[in-house]
Amino acid sequence: MEKKQQQLHSSWKNYSNGGFPIPLIGCAIVVAVLLLSMASPASSCTEQEKDSLLEFHAGLLQDGGLAASWKRNITDCCVWDGVTCSADGAVTDVSLASKGLEGQISPSLGNLAGLLRLNLSHNSLSGGLPLELVSSSSIIALDVSFNRLKEDMQEVPSLTSVRPLQVLNISSNLFTGRFPSSTTWMAMSNLVTLNASNNSFTGQIPSHFCTGSPSLAVVALCYNQFTGGIPPGLGNCSMLRVLKAGHNNLSGTLPNELLDASSLEHLSLPDNGLNGMINDAQIVKLRNLATLDLGGNNFSGKIPDSIGQLKRLEELRLDHNNMSGKLPSALSNCTNLITVDLKSNHFDGEHTKVNFSSLLDLRTLDLLYNKFTGTIPESIYSCTKLAALRISGNNFFGVVLLELLTGKRPVTVMATSKELVPWVLQMRSQGKQTEVLDPTLRGTGYEEQMLKVLETACKCVDHDQFRRHVIMEVVSCLASTDADLQK
């Protein structure tokens, strides 16, 4: 069954056109490497390399036009489509992404002793992933994403020496079964990026990732069928920057040990069965966090005050949980916030403590279906980049009616900086209610009805909750006004 395709993390974009990320090195070396790659190799590839490539080609049902150049009578396979060689003629890169390939991947590619990068992504390849590729003694980057590969991932034998593999992308396939155990990860101690998202892996997430692969920086396991808890051992991944394990069947609490991974920039665990509270003392350790996505779980409790110490936070998603309490004023300190999604929780209280005017980059604020009360925070109108605001399904009152009647925004009354609510209440106390009405609405013959609605709006913004109109009183008033208009 097709799953929702996931956008890969930016770490993967570096090789979207067939190349893979390489370490930053001196400019002189980079120039030298480029010149060498542009030059014709001093010698052609070996017969063994040619045989290995042709054996792979023979296993294809659809070759995407490779047959035009992949011929035995073209003696130098370094000039074959998608093949790159080093200066001495060794095959180093095979890049056949989006070629329309069908068939199975031959283990013969593992015989290419100088192969560094293999990219077969975005094809229709089927069958299993040969162990010879994963355990290759030369490959540093292997991308077979967006194919139809299936079966279980094979274990690397326990006595296998450390492999050079740094990037493994097997996402968006049909892999099933349990994830490889500790012996595999011990042989992959150089692994930096692992993307196994959008498959059908089952069982628990391995707890040995970082014991075997201490350099892991990106782990993407979303859209699988993993069960059990989040392994506390992931907290030992001192280099971990991205952890995506959303849309699985994970349960249990968020382990405190995970929050020891202080290098984390992206923590995404949505749509699981996780529960418990967000630890106030532990979350503060993630000072590099830019994305926190815990939506669609069973988390409870309040948003911790220490959230304000996450100064790099750009995206906060806690929607569809059982969280409650008031929004902490410290949220105002997260000045890089772009998205705040808190819908479908039990948050309550007013927003007077949160100064939204400090969140100048805020583009999305979703407070739908909570228990918020009071007026819509007037500081929200200082968020000039705000493109999406959802506040229905709460107990907000007053300000919306006043905006409609006066035609003014809450913080831009006339040429002064006076706020809307105090200005209306002052004019009302002076018997100047008619003057606050939008000039375009005056003289229409409905002033009496508009003043009646204005009176209701003023009662809605009363700071005394016992005098404040409840929603049924507002509905009753508006209904009676409508009846007057129908006469």
Q: Phi/psi of residue 299, each to 5°?
A: -65, 145
Q: Among 52, 56, 69, 136, which residue's Cα sits nearest to residue 101? A: 56
Report in angstroms the alpha-carbon separations of 142 from 18, 119, 205, 212, 244. Answer: 11, 6, 21, 19, 20
CATH of the domain at 411: 1.10.510.10
Average pLDDT over residues 273-298: 96
pLDDT confidence bin for 2, thresholds 50/70/90: very low
pTM of the model: 0.79
Question: Does a structural domain hold residue 62?
Answer: no
What are the residues facing 204 on neighbouring strands? 227
Question: Does a structural domain hold residue 459?
Answer: yes
What are the residues facing 169 on neighbouring strands? 143, 195
Whether 330 has a pLDDT exceeding 90, the answer reads yes
Question: Does a structural domain hold residue 149?
Answer: no
Question: Does a structural domain hold residue 369?
Answer: no
Q: How far apart are CA 215 and CA 393, in angstroms?
A: 46
Of the listed ranges 157-171, 243-257, 385-399, the one predicted with least confidence: 385-399
pLDDT confidence bin for 222, thresholds 50/70/90: very high
Whether 487 has a pLDDT exceeding 70, the answer reads no
Q: Say what the pLDDT of residue 459 is.
A: 76
Whether 427 has a pLDDT exceeding 90, the answer reads no
Question: Does a structural domain hold residue 418?
Answer: yes
What are the residues facing 346 on neighbouring strands? 324
Q: How far apart are CA 50 and CA 423, in angstroms?
A: 83
Report angle CA 461, 364, 254 to the nearest 5 degrees: 105
pLDDT in tens, 356-388: 999 999 999 999 999 887 777 778 888 999 999
Report angle CA 465, 457, 360 to the nearest 5 degrees: 85
Q: Say what the pLDDT of residue 425 is.
A: 83
Report in angstroms the alpha-carbon separations of 432 from 180, 421, 427. Answer: 76, 14, 5
Question: Does a structural domain hold residue 428?
Answer: yes
Give the torsion through C-alpha atoms of 101, 105, 108, 114, to 10 deg: 70
Q: Say what the pLDDT of residue 212 is.
A: 75
Whether 317 has a pLDDT exceeding 90, the answer reads yes
Question: Does a structural domain hold residue 444?
Answer: yes
Percent of the chain with pLDDT over 70: 83
Question: Does a structural domain hold residue 244?
Answer: no
Average pLDDT, the chain: 85
Of the listed ranges 189-193, 194-198, 233-237, 378-382, the one predicted with least confidence: 378-382
Average pLDDT over residues 218-228: 97
Of the listed ranges 125-139, 149-163, 293-307, the one predicted with least confidence: 149-163
Residue 223 CB contacts under 8 Å (≥ 6 apart), including other chains: 3, 4, 6, 197, 198, 199, 246, 247, 248
Say if residues 182 and 158 touch (Cβ distance below 8 Å): no
Q: Which comes out higher in pLDDT, residue 416 or 139?
A: 139
Whether 189 has a pLDDT exceeding 70, the answer reads yes
Q: Say what the pLDDT of residue 468 is.
A: 65
What are the residues facing 62 on neighbouring strands? 102
Residue 160 CB contacts under 8 Å (≥ 6 apart), including other chains: 135, 183, 187
Domain hosting 414: range is 403-486
Whether 408 has a pLDDT exceeding 50, the answer reads yes
| Number of domains making up the chain | 1
How many Cβ atoms are within 10 Å of 312's Cβ, its own excluded? 14
